[in-house]
Structure formats: structure tokens, C-alpha cells
Amino acid sequence: MKLLEERIRKDGRIYPGNILKVDSFLNHQIDVSLIDKIGEAFYEAYKDCGITKILTIEASGIAIACSAARFFNVPLLFAKKSQSLNLGNDLYTTTVSSFTYKKDYQVTISKRYLSEKDHVLIVDDFLATGNAIIGLAELCRLAGAKVEGVGICIEKGFQQGGTQLREMGYSVTSLAVIESMTDDGEIVFKS
Amino acid sequence: MKLLEERIRKDGRIYPGNILKVDSFLNHQIDVSLIDKIGEAFYEAYKDCGITKILTIEASGIAIACSAARFFNVPLLFAKKSQSLNLGNDLYTTTVSSFTYKKDYQVTISKRYLSEKDHVLIVDDFLATGNAIIGLAELCRLAGAKVEGVGICIEKGFQQGGTQLREMGYSVTSLAVIESMTDDGEIVFKS
């Protein structure tokens, strides 16, 4: 997606350790007009898959899921990272290792909102190690729901997540795939 | 807002201790068409205030902020509850006590995205003790930004947050104000 690649080049900031910060437009401050183009791109990719629900994980995925859900005209569901006292006990739960936060955490959804009738599109802002997406796919498996696809804004192509998910058989649509980036700010996108 | 009150009556669930769960449509699974009506209502209330930014707190506020931001055609910014290793050091930070989670937590935003030029609309799903909103207003104060208003989906009118915020001088627009609710499921809205 040209628009997203251009925005990453313009407003992304690179820090040592292959860290790309896009918090001016994607995951802290959010440019809703860009997010809407992203939601539309996911709709174009999966509009014939009978999607019944958009699934993401708090917090960065929610705005993206919100836009996608509008195009598909289905609800969105976001998995929670910590167990709220108010969420109840009827939960599907799995464990995810966070690369960013360097720790494991529980990811949960209420059993009420995902079932074997659902055809799910998983969306998120980044795909790197793939751990968060694999966790969301595991929640779908526990619920008996079918994962029809995975929509990603930015895939770090030099990490193993994308390859691993595709080898597992998932349809992954990444709108910008970074092949390499250097500490002095150069980004090469996979064409 | 009649639509929201009706939805709360239809799909909200009440648990002992004045807990109202609206996670089937507002803050776990999300009905985007309802959220869009909410965003529009906030726009109607504050469209003449020169709003430059919608501010909320992760995670439940993000979808609502996203919809409001679309109507105002401004960016949204969500405060983070835990300090990401990737967020950097240039942060405004304050402490919030969570009624739901029974603990204190840090709330942060990047200094890059809020300044004395901003006219802010704060939005969130619930207003009860008011602690989260007061924390967001404090972040605005630290940045020198002006809080033009506070848009709330559901205010628990029997808790002190709304009164406190209004006494502090904030313009608070709550789309549904619950005057009382009983453990057997009866809800009385303030008219």
C-alpha cells in the first residue's frame, strides 16, 4: 500500500535495534483518515470470505479493527491483556510473549463473543515475531471459530512472524513489508 | 441519548456491587454503528469549540475516540497505561487509581503530540469515580493544552466523578446518566 509506505518514510522514526516508531500516526496518535484507507484495503482483500467478526488485541489494534469493522459491517472484538475484575470467568485464555515489553502476558476474550459460527479476520498494527497473532489465532481455535485471514499494517519481513504464519496456512495480508532498515534511517520495502 | 439508553437496557447486564457490563456492544465486543452515533453526538456538542485533538485512555476509549476524531477531522491520541520500552522518555506522566482493577497505574503520553496549541476533547466509555478523566485532564495541564470538554458514554450518576468534574469547571457531556440500578437488573436513567 503506497500510501502507508510513504507515510512510514515521511513520519516513521528508526531507533537502534530495528525499532520503528510510527506513533505519530498509527499507534499512539492516530490519523483516522489513514486508518480508514487501511480498513478499506483489508475489506478489499477479504470481502468475499464471509467475515463475521474482526478480532484484534488491545491497545494498538483497536483503531484499525474499528475501521475494518465499519467496512465489513460486523462487530469488532478486542482481546484483553490483563484480566479485568469485570470481565467474568467465562473466558478463553492463552499466553503471549511480548517482544516489546520483554514479558509473557495472558490474553483473554469472553466466550460469549466468539463461537464456531464465526469467520474471523484478525488485524493488528505490527507483525514481527508473530506471537500476538498466534495467540489470537489460538483463541479462535479454542472457540472453534475459523480464521479467514490476517490483516497487518506493517510487517517486519526480517523477523520470522510472517513466514511462520504463512507456513501454518494462514492468509496474511501485510500492507507494508519492511525488508530491511538501517540505524541511520533507511527503509527498504519489499515490492 | 435514547439509542444508547435503549441499548443499555436491552444488552447491559448488572452484577452485584453496581457493576454494569456493556461488553457486548461498547468495550470488549464493539458495535461500530452505535459507536458512530456516539461520535456524532460528541461532535454536535463540541463542534464550535475549535477542537484540535481527541484524547482518551487505552483501551476501552479508543474505538469511541476513533469515531469522534472522524467527525471532528482531527487526530486522536490515547494515553498509555504502562510505559512501553518503545515510547521513549519525552513523556507527560500522571498516576491514576483504578476502581475496576483496584490499583494505581501510570498514565503517559508523548510530549510530541500535545501542546499549548491544542484544544482537547477528552472521551471515554464510563465515568464513575472520575479518576481516569482527571488523570487525562492533568496530562493536558502538563502540556499546556486546553480541555474544551469531556464526552462520556455512560455516567454512573450515583458516583462522584461527574459532580467533581463539573465543580472543577469542566464541560461534561454524558450520553446516558444512570441515576440508580438494582442488583435485580432495574436501571433508572436521569432524564
Out of A15-19, B38-42, B114-118, pick the least confident: A15-19
pLDDT tens column, A145-169: 999 999 999 999 999 999 999 999 9
ipTM above 0.90, yes or no: yes
In the predicted model, is pLDDT for residue B103 greater than 90?
A: no
Under an 8 A CB cutoff, do A32 and B75 touch?
yes
In the predicted model, is pLDDT for residue B84 greater than 80?
A: no
Distance CA A22, CA B124 (A): 24
> Looking at per-residue confidence, does A83 or A53 come out higher?
A53
Task: Using CA coordinates, name the residue in chain A closest to B110.
Answer: A28
Q: How many CB atoms lie within 10 A of CB B78?
A: 25
* Helix H or strand E segment including A70: helix A61-72
pLDDT band at B83 (very low <50, low <70, confident <90, very high): low
* Ordered alpha helix ranges (H), B52-130: 61-72
Under an 8 A CB cutoff, do A75 and B30 touch?
yes
Under an 8 A CB cutoff, do B30 and A87 touch?
no
Under an 8 A CB cutoff, do A32 and B76 touch?
yes
pLDDT at B168: 97
pLDDT tens column, A100-146: 677 888 999 999 999 999 999 999 999 999 999 999 999 999 999 99
- Closest partner residue to B85 (CB to CB) among A31, A84, A101 is A101
pLDDT tens column, B171-191: 999 999 999 999 888 999 998
Would the CA dihedral through B29, B33, B39, B41 be positive or negative? Answer: negative
Under an 8 A CB cutoff, do B28 and A63 touch?
no
- Closest partner residue to B23 (CB to CB) among A25, A30, A110 is A110
Query: B123: distance to nearest CA of chain A, Å?
Result: 14
In the predicted model, is pLDDT for residue B122 greater than 90?
A: yes
- Half-sphere CA count of B144, side-chain side, radius 13 A: 5
Task: Using CA coordinates, name the residue in chain A closest to B109.
Answer: A28
